[in-house]
Amino acid sequence: MASALNWFEIPATDIERASRFYSTILDTRLEMMDTPTFKTAMFPSDMEHGEVGGAISQAEGLTPSATGSLIYLNANPDLQPVLDRVEAAGGKVVRPKTRVEMEGGGYYAVVTDSEGNTVGLHSMG
């Protein structure tokens, strides 16, 4: 595994406002992307060359919270075997393996860990 962290996502209720905030404090340009189910502003990264990517996202089920941001851990090459071990390890699969709605985006899933934390998993297969 090249990196334990593969993707991070920060929930927002107003994607434009959140994008302005992060663009301002980080002095960078976020790339806006809308799909039928979510709006996102992606931080710059070169994921094809091993850089960790992330975004601010506005979608059903994503609620800003003082209790933490949702991070995605690297589950390459295929996250299904990882998901298959979640319940036996004391967790729960919240969202099963789901295709990312952008070309070449791979797959994601969301689990609750043994402590009650919500954690995302991501893989290309």
Cα distance between residue 93 and residue 86, in whole Å: 7
Cα distance between residue 77 and residue 57, in whole Å: 25
Cα distance between residue 25 and residue 78, in whole Å: 35
* Residue 50 pLDDT exceeds 90: no
Full-prediction pTM beyond 0.85? no
122 within 8 A of 74, measured Cβ to Cβ: yes
Domains of the chain: 1-61 (3.10.180.10), 75-125 (3.10.180.10)
What's the chain's average pLDDT? 90
Which has more pLDDT, 4 or 89? Answer: 89
Cα distance between residue 99 and residue 93, in whole Å: 16
* Residue 33 pLDDT exceeds 90: yes
- Tell me the average pLDDT across 51-62: 91
How many residues does this entry show for the chain? 125
70 within 8 A of 57, measured Cβ to Cβ: no
* Residue 1 pLDDT exceeds 70: no
